[in-house]
Homo-oligomer: A and B are copies of this chain.
Amino acid sequence: MNVVKSMDEAWKYILEKLREKGATGKNAEIVADSLVYADARGTKSHGIHMLAAYLERIEAGGMDIEASPVVVKENEASVVIDACNGFGQAGVRTLADTLLKKAEHMPVVCGCVRNLNHCGALAYYTEYCAKKGYIALLFVNANPTVAPFGAMEAILGTNPLSVAVPTKDEPIVLDMASSAVAKAKIYQAAKTNSKIDASWALDEEGNPTDDPNRAIAGVLNAMAGPKGYGLALVVEALAGVLSGAGITKEVSSVHKGVQKGMNAGGFLILVNPGAFLSKEEYNRRMEQLIQDIKGAKPRPGGQVFLPGEIEQRRYKKSKIEGIEYV
């Protein structure tokens, strides 16, 4: 049963479901924005698919729908936000909005957020900042699923990072986990009885495996071996340690321990390109880079996209044609 909903219908549907649990107002709207944004871009793992988990946590008393993020500490170029175990989306969006104001007057600003629940797709926040003219680097930690390089025990999270860079048209938007793959891909392979890439995960004995079922019993690898492990650790230091949020096993899964908050954290840096180049010069130079990339000879059957480009095209299509839910 495939259903096509307009983005507006999907948005209203989410708000209705949240309202049934008592969540209304600005924060609930940000949650709906974030989930519809992800679905519209084709990144469904962070779309309405997540709503059930949010509702379950509210139901179980693990997320405080009354809470709004508060500023714990700030100065002209930095801020510490406590998301107070409310919606994760409200926490990171407040961090972004607070820093956007500061970035008007500073070449670079940064801040963090703690007591954070699941915040959806990171691109939602970085693209938002890039559309206002800032280069945004966002790091968020997550519950342990990934083994440090050389280990066979899940210590680090999928620890995603997103960087968005303004251009004269759509921003370039990178949004990636530092794990080799999303665990969902391994579950998918198990369902369809397919083999997985042996670099994705270790089995219960700590050996590489192409068997999705053995991988599910084992642990995820970081992407690109020690490099991805290093990036995941940097994310944990910025988003976990500096923010005052949970560190590694102190962060819980969005699907487990729903009687309590997740206690994740985030760290956001905004760079004002105007501190370095005039707007004209910046746009001209970014355009030069984009032309170089887009002009690269494609490999057989290949096509070159900028990071985020496929998602932006999909978003435009979804605006007109709606989102297909299966």
A residues near B (Cβ < 8 Å) are 73, 75, 77-78, 80, 106-110, 112, 135, 147-153, 155-156, 163, 165, 172, 174, 176, 180, 202, 205-207, 223-224, 226-231, 233-234, 236-238, 240-244, 247-249, 269, 271, 273, 275-277, 282, 285-286, 288-289, 292-293, 296-300, 302-307
Contact = CB atoms under 8 A, between A and B. Distances in A.
B297 A241 contact: no
B241 A293 contact: no
- Identical chains in the assembly: 2
A106 B237 CA distance: 20
Nearest to A275: B78
- The interface centre, meaning the residue of A165, A244, A275 with most chain B CB atoms within 10 A of its CB, is A275
A282 B177 CA distance: 25
Nearest to A310: B226
Contacts of A306: 233
Nearest to A155: B296
B248 A292 contact: yes
Contact of A135 (B237, B275, B292): B237
Contact of A80 (B110, B241, B276): B276
B174 A247 contact: no
A78 B289 contact: no
